Structure 1
Amino acid sequence: MTTKTWFITGTSSGFGRLLTEKLLERGDRVAATLRKPAALDDLKHKYGDKLWIEVLDVTDHFAIRRVVDKAFAELGHIEVIVNNAGYAVFGAAEELTHEQIRHELDTNLIGSIEVTQAVLPHLRAQGGGRILQVSSMGGQIGLPALSIYHASKWGIEGFVESVIPEVSSFGIEMTLVEPAGANTNFAHGSMVHATPSAVYDDTPAGAWRKARAAGDYHPTLDPEKVVAAMIDSVEQSPAPKRLTLGSNAYKLVHKALTERLATLESQKDLALGSDYDTP
C-alpha cells in the first residue's frame, strides 16, 4: 500500500473525523479543514506533521480558493480530495425559512462545487487524482421533511455526473458516496430543525418528526464500514461512479430506481412520439 495525502472538508465530526482518524492510523497524511480546529487537537498532538489543519467554512468562496491553494503549495502532491462538509435541515418545505434554504444549499451544494472547482487545476497540473463526493442515499430518493437536503444532494449528483467526462482525460476520477442514515453527529447533533407547523402534524412530515422526537430513529449503518469502503474505493481503477452503502440505502434506492424505470417504460410511446414527424 502506497501512502497518500488526502484533503478532507468537514473533519470535526461524523464521517470526516472518522476518515481522518483511520487514514492517520494507517500512515497517510491528511489535510483536514473544519470551522473549529480545536476539535482535532488530540489528533494533532498524536500525529504531528502528518495532520495539516486549516480553518475553512465552505460557504466562503474566497476562503475555499485560499485554503486549497495553500494546501497544495505546502503539501505538494495531494492524491485524494474528499468533499464531506455538510448538514441537513429537517422540516416540511413550507416550514423552511429563506435563511435555512440558502445556507443548506450554500454548504452542501455550492460549497462542494466550489471546492471541486478549486482543486481541479491542481489535479490537472499533477497529472490526476481522485475526488470522493459525499452525497447520500438522499441523492437518489426523497423522504418527507428533508426536501431542501434532498435538493442539495440531487443537485450535487447531477454536477458530478457532468464533471466526470469533462475531466477523465486528465486522469481525474470522481466517486459519489451514497450512505444511508448513520449514528453520527450528522443525524443527531448538527441537524437543523425548522419551526414546526401544526398543520403538518398528521402528514408524513409530521410522522417523521414524531418518530425522531420519540427516539424511534435507529440507523443500522456502521460508520466505520462506510469509511473503510471509501478508502478501499480509491484503490479501484476505474473509479466506481457510486458507492451505495447500507441495507436501507440499497432497498430505498433500488425501489426508487425500479419505479422510475417502470414509469419511463410506460411513457415510451409518448416520449418517442413527441419528436417532429418524419416526412
Structure 2
Amino acid sequence: MTTRTWLITGANSGFGRHLASQLLSRGDRVAGTFRAAGSVDDLAGENFRAYHLDVTDPAEITAVVDRAFADLGRIDVVVSNAGYGLMGAAEELTDEQVEHQIATNLTGSVRLIRAALPHLRAQGGGRILQLSSVGGQAAWPGGSLYHATKWGVEGFAESLAGEVAPFGIGVTIVEPGGARTNFRYGSSVLAARIPAYDGTPVAGIRRILTERTTQGVGDPARMATAMIESVEREPAPLRLVLGSDAAQAMEGALTARLADVRSQRETAAVTDAPLSDAVTGGPADLND
C-alpha cells in the first residue's frame, strides 16, 4: 500500500469526513479544509493539517492551495468535494441562491483545480478526484440548479482529463448515488414554496426533504473506500460510479439520450452544408 498525501475540501462532513478518517487510519497525510470552526478538531494529529476555506472566495482558494503544497511539500491527490444541494423549482429560487449554488459547486471546483494544477505539473503528476453525482448524468424535476452545476463540472473535468494527461495528472469524476450522509437532510437547501407547483413533480423532492422518511442506499464509508482504491488504478478511471441506484439511473438516462440522438441522424444531416461549400475546422476536426 502506497502512502500518499491528500488535499480534501469539505473534510468536516459527508464523503470528505469519511475519506479523511480512513486515510489517516492507514497512515496517509491529509490536508483538510473546513468552514465551521471546531468541525475537524477531532482529526488533529501529526498527519492532519486543517485549513479554513470558503470555496466561494477565489483569493482564499489560491492562498489555501499554495499554503498546503508549501506546508506538505507534495500533494498526490486533490479531492474537490465541497458542495451542497439547492432544491426546488427553477422559478422558486432567488438570484442569490442561484449564484451561491454555482459559486460553490461549479466555480469553486474549477478554481480549486486550477489553483492546484501548477503544483501538480511542477511535481511531475498527481490525481484529481472531482465529486459529482448521479445528478451529473441524470436530472429530475426540482433540482435544476443542482443538476446544472454537476453537469457543468463534469464537462469541465472531462475536458481537463485530456488536457493534463500529458503531465501525468489523472482525473476521475466520482458519481455517487444516494448515500447515507448529511447531504439530504443536512446540507441541502430547499427553496421557498410557490403553491402553483404543489401538484407537479417538484412536490416530490419537497416531500422527501420535509418529511425526512427516506435515505440513500449507499454506504458512505464503502464509497469512500472505493474512491481511495481508485487512485491505485492506472490509467485513472474517467468515471467512478458508486451505488446500484447510480448505475441504474445513469444507464437509463444515457440510453434514452442515445436513442434520442440516433432517431435524429437523418434530420440532423439535412442541416449540413453542401460538400462543395464545406469549411473544415469544426468541432469534429479537433481530434484529427
Same fold, TM-score > 0.5, yes or no: yes
Whole-Å separation in 1 of the counterparts to 2:223 and 2:52: 25
Is residue 2:203 matched to residue 1:209? no
Whole-Å separation in 1 of the counterparts to 2:212 and 2:51: 36
Whole-Å separation in 1 of the counterparts to 2:269 and 2:222: 44
Tell me if the contact between 1:12 and 1:37 (Cα under 8 Å) persists in the aligned partners: no
| Secondary structure of the structure 1 residue equivalent to 2:62 | helix
Aligned to 2:34: 34
Tell me if the contact between 1:18 and 1:227 (Cα under 8 Å) persists in the aligned partners: yes
Is residue 2:127 matched to residue 1:130? yes
Query: Identity of counterpart residues, as a percentage?
Result: 53
| Secondary structure of the structure 1 residue equivalent to 2:17 | helix
Whole-Å separation in 2 of the counterparts to 1:211 and 1:177: 24
Aligned to 1:179: 176
What pairs up with 1:1-279 in 2 under 5 angstroms?
1-44=1-44, 48-279=45-276
TM-aligned CA deviation for residue 208 of structure 1: 2.5
TM-aligned CA deviation for residue 24 of structure 1: 0.2
| Secondary structure of the structure 2 residue equivalent to 1:38 | coil
Amino acid at match of 2:96: E
Tell me if the contact between 1:37 and 1:54 (Cα under 8 Å) persists in the aligned partners: no
Whole-Å separation in 2 of the counterparts to 1:236 and 1:50: 24
| Secondary structure of the structure 1 residue equivalent to 2:7 | strand
Amino acid at match of 1:2: T
| Secondary structure of the structure 2 residue equivalent to 1:31 | strand
Amino acid at match of 2:95: H
Whole-Å separation in 1 of the counterparts to 2:87 and 2:231: 32
| TM-score (structure 1 length as normaliser) | 0.97
Whole-Å separation in 2 of the counterparts to 1:217 and 1:91: 18
TM-aligned CA deviation for residue 171 of structure 1: 0.4
Amino acid at match of 1:29: R
Tell me if the contact between 2:24 and 2:47 (Cα under 8 Å) persists in the aligned partners: yes
TM-aligned CA deviation for residue 139 of structure 1: 0.4
Whole-Å separation in 1 of the counterparts to 2:214 and 2:87: 14
* Structure 1 residues 205-237: Cα deviation after superposition (integer angstroms, max 9, x where no partner): 012212332333221111111101100000000
Root-mean-square deviation over aligned CA pairs: 1.0
- Equivalent pairs counted in the alignment come to 276
Amino acid at match of 1:4: R
Tell me if the contact between 2:87 and 2:143 (Cα under 8 Å) persists in the aligned partners: yes
Tell me if the contact between 1:175 and 1:240 (Cα under 8 Å) persists in the aligned partners: yes
| TM-score (structure 2 length as normaliser) | 0.94
TM-aligned CA deviation for residue 198 of structure 1: 0.8
Whole-Å separation in 1 of the counterparts to 2:275 and 2:31: 58
Specify every segment of 5 or more residues in structure 1 that has no aligned partner in the other structure, as ranges: none
TM-aligned CA deviation for residue 250 of structure 1: 0.8
Whole-Å separation in 1 of the counterparts to 2:145 and 2:167: 33
Whole-Å separation in 2 of the counterparts to 1:185 and 1:23: 20
Amino acid at match of 1:18: H
